Chains A and B, each alone.
Chain A
Amino acid sequence: MGLDFVGQGAGQTDGNIITTTIDKVVNWGRKNSLWPMPFGTACCAIEMMATLASKFDLSRFGSEAIRFSPRQSDLLIVSGRISIKMMPVLKRIYDQMPDPKWVISMGACASCGGVFDTYTLIQGVDQFIPVDVYIPGCPPRPEDLIDAVLQVQQKITSGASPKGVEAVYE
């Protein structure tokens, strides 16, 4: 969690004193309230919907508030193949998201083009937007997407900057 309890333990200290740093508290909040922007263009999006629905229930990890506006979200889930006509749209949506923002490249097509090695398909969205977590699979299981969200949470907890921030400020 990143929070240190002072005293004999939580609940036993009269004043419940907690010492920490601002960064840790902020990251703790960010981690547990990731708002995903779904960019579903293919069958991976079906798995993403299953992940959000009741059986797999992504809200257990604090990520159930799906935003269909990039301006209100901080996690972009690219799930599906991206054509050369769609790439400018994806780029613009990424640019519209406020910092800090993280990107999950879900499935083989978004990560490397998958089986579609053709004239019209982007061979990996990481050529154009920074990607934090890749998910292999065609399509990946909902558990894989949950795992990717947990990996993003770990990155946030560790205090590491998102890939996009590194790209901008370094």
Chain B
Amino acid sequence: MSEENQVEEQPKPLVLEKLEANHADALLAQDESRGTIVVVIHKEQAYAVLEYLKTDPELAYTFLVDVTAVDNSQMESELMQFDYARFMVVYQLYSYQGQCRLRVKVPVHENDLSVASVTELWQGANWLERETYDMFGINFEGHPDLRRILMPDDFEGYPLRKDYPLRGRGERESFNFDKQNV
């Protein structure tokens, strides 16, 4: 008997089973990346799915680790996968109950940069979404206080977008001290 026959088929993770059963229409893709389950969710149902992941007693992804985004504008292979959506908003979740992580990705098109805010579900999403707004220009609808958090209030542009020049557009030399609220 060879070793290959002894390896059992891994059971499908519970979270994928439950998502397929309850939110099959929202599930665009599923993947695994270095031991973490990755699911890609349709933007319109993103809030409903995240709420489900948090409140379902068996899953209980109660901890929102991070909210960030990825600009895929220079990654042709990534762009093609999801109908040329330029941005991918990424939610990192953790379940204390199941002691497992989950990455939820939401494709966002450049001509419609709004995503439903999850501050109602996780208070901690407040500053994370502000940072994503600051760096990428993603609008989180329903956010109580969506303004810049890292860059100055009068800053123009979104510096983590791939088309933003690394050395800036001259803002670090041409400095207006009067405009700043010191």
B151 touches A120 (CB 8 A): yes
Q: Could you tell me the distance between the alpha carbons of A99 and B44 in the complex, rounded to whole angstroms?
A: 61
Q: Counting CB contacts under 8 A, is A4 at the interface? A: no
Residues of chain B within 8 A (CB-CB) of A123 are 172-173
Q: Counting CB contacts under 8 A, is B164 at the interface? A: yes
Q: 8 Å CB contacts to B: which residues of A110-132?
A: 117-123, 127-128
Q: 8 Å CB contacts to A: which residues of B124-181?
A: 150-152, 159, 164-169, 171-173, 175, 177, 180
Residues of chain B within 8 A (CB-CB) of A119 are 159, 164-169, 171-172
Q: Given that A118-B166, A119-B165, A120-B159 are contacting pairs, would A89 and B182 also be in contact in the complex, using a CB cutoff of 8 Å? A: yes
Q: Counting CB contacts under 8 A, is A88 at the interface? A: yes
Q: Counting CB contacts under 8 A, is A87 at the interface? A: yes
Q: Name the interface size band of chain A.
A: 10 to 19
B167 touches A117 (CB 8 A): yes
A120 touches B168 (CB 8 A): yes
Residues of chain A within 8 A (CB-CB) of B165 are 119
Q: Could you tell me the distance between the alpha carbons of A119 and B159 in the complex, rounded to whole angstroms?
A: 8
Q: Counting CB contacts under 8 A, is A91 at the interface? A: yes
Task: State the majority secondary structure of interface residues on B.
Answer: loop
Chain A residue with minimal CB distance to B179? A88
What is the interface size of chain B, counting residues whose CB is below 8 A from a CB of the partner? 17
Q: Counting CB contacts under 8 A, is A92 at the interface? A: yes
Residues of chain B within 8 A (CB-CB) of A91 are 177, 182
Q: Given that A88-B177, A88-B182, A91-B177 are contacting pairs, would A121 and B152 also be in contact in the complex, using a CB cutoff of 8 Å? A: no
Q: Could you tell me the distance between the alpha carbons of A2 and B83 in the complex, rounded to whole angstroms?
A: 78
Residues of chain A within 8 A (CB-CB) of B180 are 85, 88
Residues of chain B within 8 A (CB-CB) of A10 are none
The interface centre, meaning the residue of A88, A89, A91, A119 with most chain B CB atoms within 10 A of its CB, is: A119
Residues of B within 8 A of A (CB): 150-152, 159, 164-169, 171-173, 175, 177, 180, 182
Write 25 A-B pairs (CB below 8 A) sorted by A numbering.
Answer: A84-B152, A84-B171, A84-B175, A85-B150, A85-B151, A85-B180, A88-B177, A88-B180, A89-B182, A91-B177, A91-B182, A117-B166, A117-B167, A118-B167, A118-B168, A119-B164, A119-B165, A119-B166, A119-B167, A119-B171, A119-B172, A120-B172, A121-B172, A127-B173, A128-B175
